[in-house]
Amino acid sequence: MSLATRLLERLVVFSLGWWVLSEGEASSWVFGIPFALLASSSEHAPQHVCRPAAARNLLIDALRFVAIAMVVLTHVLNLRWEFKELPLAAETVRAMMAFNMPLFAFVSGYVNRGLERDGPWRFVRSKALALLVPYYAWIIVEMPLRRVALADAPERLLRAAFDPKAAFQMWFLLVLFYAFALLALSRLVSRSEWWFGGVALAVGLLPLVWEPDSNLIVRLCWLYPFVVGGYLVARHRESCRRFDDVAAVVGLVAFPLLLASGLDGAPYRLAIGAAGSAALWALLRWMPQAVLTRLAWAGAKSLGVYGGQMVLLPFLIVGAGWPGAFTSWALVTAAALALTMALERFAVTRAIFLGQWPKPTRNRGAAAAA
């Protein structure tokens, strides 16, 4: 990292930390202290925070950022009444919500290939560390902002294990963990990809024959097919590559038609989620490499942005009209990225809030003897 980049980073982070600290609220210290620590640190960011850009899939990381950017904009538009009443605000939110979480689920399935390497049980354990620990950490941080009484906190944390509604806006991490657990369970029964696909389709269409009372099951039925879809596409990426252009055209044509149709139900949600994801995949594939690289850098920090944006939203909503909405979106996104950079500085915060646990390494002597 160049000296100019480091100075700019520290200036932005220190300014944001000072602004938050100057609010004078007790909760502000929770957010201001990490920024101040980052700004005052003389050490460079550790090189193992994330893999080098060459080792990552730029398109996948860029998709992550666009998806999380849509999540932030959705929350901005829904948080303030004046923004909800803006022209086309409801239509914008509906369009983004039709596919942003299915896209996240697809990408999550695409990049997680540890099931074959680690086996079902170790795979589920690793997902518990990577997803459930940050899930509960961000819930605990957000509870004071939501004015949850201390006496009610244990009951809420217990309920959050099975009820996404108890998790504020962190519900996706819980649903994703159960989706991976179901994928591992399917793997115990059979390794056939037809089996994986069949189970995913059955889960996705389950609401047609049974209306579950559990919000967790409803969201799992919605997103599980996309997790499995990403998992299967990653296993056959070279074979699927020949269909990229076809999928792009179909997605770009089908998404606006499905959005305008006014349909509802499980098949519609699966179709529009797939069409929107394919359309965005196509648009990003045609972007210049320089733009894609910058989006991918931010996309690699999507979990931190996802958790941090709900903590920072109440402090960074400014202005009115669409200019105010987009300014608030830019402020929240930039602040959440800065917060993620602060959390990446320390091993304990990387693990607890970002799910980035140290990789277990084999003893060299034992490995050589083996």
Residue-by-residue DSSP string for 4-40: HHHHHHHHHHHHHHHHHHTT--HHHHHHHHHHHHHHH
What pLDDT was estimated at residue 322? 92
* Helix (H) or strand (E) segment spanning residue 206: none
* Helix (H) or strand (E) segment spanning residue 313: helix 302-316
Q: How far apart are CA 258 and CA 247, in angstroms?
A: 15
Alpha helical stretches, state H, 190-243: 193-205, 215-235, 237-240
3-state secondary structure (DSSP) of residue 214: coil
What confidence tens digit (pLDDT) does each residue in 201-223 have? Answer: 999 999 999 988 899 999 999 99
What confidence tens digit (pLDDT) does each residue in 135-165 have? Answer: 999 999 999 988 888 889 999 999 999 999 9
Residue type for position 297: W
Q: Tally the residues of the chain.
A: 370
Query: Taking the mean position of all CA atoms in its chain, how far away is CA 277?
Result: 14
CA-CA distances (angstroms) from residue 81 to 8, 72, 90?
35, 16, 12
* Cβ(101)–Cβ(280) below 8 Å: no
3-state secondary structure (DSSP) of residue 187: helix
What pLDDT was estimated at residue 355? 94
Using the predicted structure, report yes or no on whether residue 264 has a pLDDT greater than 60. Answer: yes
Residue-by-residue DSSP string for 105-147: HHHHHHH--HHHHH-HHHHHHHHIIIIIHHHHHHHHHHTTTTT
* Cβ(231)–Cβ(110) below 8 Å: yes
What confidence tens digit (pLDDT) does each residue in 89-105 have? Answer: 999 999 999 999 999 99
Helix axes 347-354, 302-316, angle to 10 degrees: 80
What confidence tens digit (pLDDT) does each residue in 29-44 have? Answer: 444 444 444 444 434 4
What confidence tens digit (pLDDT) does each residue in 337-353 have? Answer: 999 999 999 999 999 99
* Cβ(281)–Cβ(247) below 8 Å: yes
What pLDDT was estimated at residue 360? 66
* Cβ(78)–Cβ(84) below 8 Å: yes
Range from 41-45, 104-108, 126-130 carrying the lowest mean pLDDT: 41-45
CA-CA distances (angstroms) from residue 189 to 194, 210, 289?
12, 24, 42
The CB density around residue 315, as the number of other CB atoms within 10 Å, is 18
Q: Which of 37-51, 68-82, 123-137 has the highest mean pLDDT?
A: 123-137
Single pTM value for the model = 0.83
Q: What percent of the chain has pLDDT over 70?
A: 82
CA quadruple 63, 67, 72, 73: dihedral sign = positive
What pLDDT was estimated at residue 55? 46
What pLDDT was estimated at residue 365? 44
Q: How far apart are CA 331 and CA 323, in angstroms?
A: 12
Q: How far apart are CA 256 and CA 244, in angstroms?
A: 19
What confidence tens digit (pLDDT) does each residue in 308-334 have? Answer: 998 898 889 888 899 999 999 999 999
